[in-house]
Structure 1
Amino acid sequence: MTRNVEGLPAPHERRSLREAAELTLDEVAAAMGVSAATVRHWESGRTNPRGRKHAAYARFLEGLTALPAAADADAAGPPGRTDPAAPAQPAEPAEPVLVAVAPGAGAGAEGGPTAPDGAAVATDTADTPVDDTGDTGGGAAGAVARPAVCPLLGPADAFDTLYDRAAPALALQSYLLSGRRALALEAVDRAFTRAWDQWPEVATDPDPEGWVRAIAYEHALSPWHRFRRAHRRPDRPPADPADRILLDALLALSPVHRRTVLLYDGVGLDLPDTAAETEATTLAAGNRILHAHAELAARIPELADVPVEKQSAALRERLVALRPPYALTPRPAAAVRGGGERRGRQWTRATLGLTAVITAATAYTVATAPTRYDPPPAPGESVTGVPPLSGPQQLTERSRQLQDKLRTDPQAGPARITPKIE
């Protein structure tokens, strides 16, 4: 089989292997955790998988290549037996071909089973019954062994598997985005805590790692961290001068360019997946990568002499080889799950307590509120053209004493002014 520069079969051979296995684009996409359009691009040679998707797709195609050979060996029977009338001997169990299936991936066109609670599953062709003719129990599609689903024990085990596989790499990526150890570990903890709180949604997502990665990136790149006292002082830079230059160059990029170049060169996503995760068009994501590479080449001497078409590979090697000055060790998965559950209980208790306080205040208000409305008296107002009401002023104590004195005077009264005839 011819191999191309990516270490994969030629694009037309990829499609031939899939069609020979009688698999649809949706089934391959569900197994790889990508969209059917991405698989179509891989088979047409328009794009090629990168990073972990490249290794997983290579193993997937090798498994498809081994299936016809295993079927032929089973049909031929054990070595040394030429008499077709002789009773068939039990064949040796073939080596299982494991194909990772995305958590929560539904049944394909054939209506296959799915794992409960979004648990990771694996296909094992050795557990599929084989009859005397070499066909597996699949009817017309018996040339290819249908996957046997092996679910994990429960949601907690599926979450722990996802956490153990993705948390260490996600901690390094968050450190490259923020340049701070505490913030990177906090971003990982926050992302997986939310994933456990919304585990049914995460379990049925085609790309659980992408779901968690988006939450961690958003937290690590939040501009509100600059107002936190704990993040005002920068962390100690890496000991290696090359790593220090690379980290400073990454932090000098804008947040959107930093995130795009890390997804494309660090994580190894292809351009359509990078554009989808950054919520941009493919053209916009490509322009961001070009501008980011130009800025990094101007700041990093090692990339200045590298041709443009090889800058992505060189940058990926530098990002993988970067060693932070601190140990980026996330908390155990059980602690993250327990912390999320404890925080959920605290929020529930706080909500119930606040509801009880509001209910008590409402009941007290209803009990003490007046049952009728007494309008307050309107204040007096002056009317234009009408003189104000006049009258005697209020007497002071001095005026009252004088008035009493005048009333008690013997000369007081009307007789005082009556004329006398002398």
Structure 2
Amino acid sequence: MTTISPIDGARLLDEVEAFHRRFNAFPTPAAYVAVVLWNAHTHLLDAFESTPRLAFLSPEPGSGKTRGLEICGTLVPQPMVAVNASPAALFRAVSGLEGGRPTILFDEIDTVFGPKAKDNEELRGLINAGHRRTGVSYRCVGDGGQQTVQAFPSYAAVAVAGLGWLPDTILTRSVVIRMRRRAPNEHVESFRSRIHEPEGHALRDRLAAWADSIRDRIDGAFPEMPEGVSDRPADVWEPLLAVADAAGGDWPRRAREACVELVAAASAGDKASLGIRLLTDLRDSVFCGADRMPTAQIVAALNALDEAPWADMNGKPLDARQLAKRLGEYVTADNEPIKARNIRTGAGVAKGYYAADLYDAWKRYCPTPKAAESATTATDPE
């Protein structure tokens, strides 16, 4: 009787990483770890409650985003390459009406959600709903007055590539790889589909076989999260850490290091979170310990900040009306919307904001000030 040797998951993931490194110049080692784990998790979707989106984003063309997506396409089950795909086509594909569940690879996503694109709420809803295994999208089917509402399954793995940024509802469900153009000393092989696709497909088939061998063990697993990673980032990374734990070797450690690094990078650079940026700038660069400040002074201070977005908000500087609108989305400790109040100054009474009204929002949404972190580190016993 022939004995089948178990598949070495760690070695297999090492080989997948080496395959990526031949053709992709990712910005950090953490990016390779995340992409490899995402490739592997697509073969185990039904073992998880959610599937993270993988987003290759860059500020300029020619940064390797499409190539990253292309290599992923050789490694995942049933890749469906979508460029400007209609919501109707994706609804049918993801729901299984056109065969088995695909892995969606959406290139040029900036043409769908970029600043020059039209509203695409249907597609955004599909991508968001499909993050969860229980996700469905409701559509009207039938003709004329005979239409009925039908729920279509939306759960599917999705990777996207594009310029700029994505809507925050998609970004928070994504592992973001911030691509950049290769430096002169960074060299990769030219990818030739006829030659290299079969190599990727061979790795894909081995990933599928390994996934089948660990499916029962990984189903319902709750991997230990790194300290400080919780809520939505934990949902995003849970499937990837579960895959790493099943593989063993160095992958559990590397996966958690990559998780911490990429979650921190996403938090620090998320342009979609302008509200948090505003609150943080008010605390650290404008109020700076003051207990109140007139609106005109606040607006002037914000617009004068270097490397801040406030001086160019869609071609115009931030004004008092925009400030009031953005701060009004947050509430005080008494659960009242933050709003301008009368402030008595040497020149009379002016509208402005009180630090006491902002304290609760600062505590809930803003990262810990660096000075406070340093003080805590200095006083904490070993």
Identify whether the pair has TM-score above 0.5, normalized to the shorter chain. no
Structure label with greater radius of gyration:
1
| Higher strand content, 1 or 2 | 2
Give the number of the structure with larger relative contact order, counting CA–CA contacts within 8 Å between residues 6 or more apart: 2
Q: Give TM-score, length-normalised by structure 1.
A: 0.22
| Higher helix content, 1 or 2 | 1
Q: Give TM-score, length-normalised by structure 2.
A: 0.24
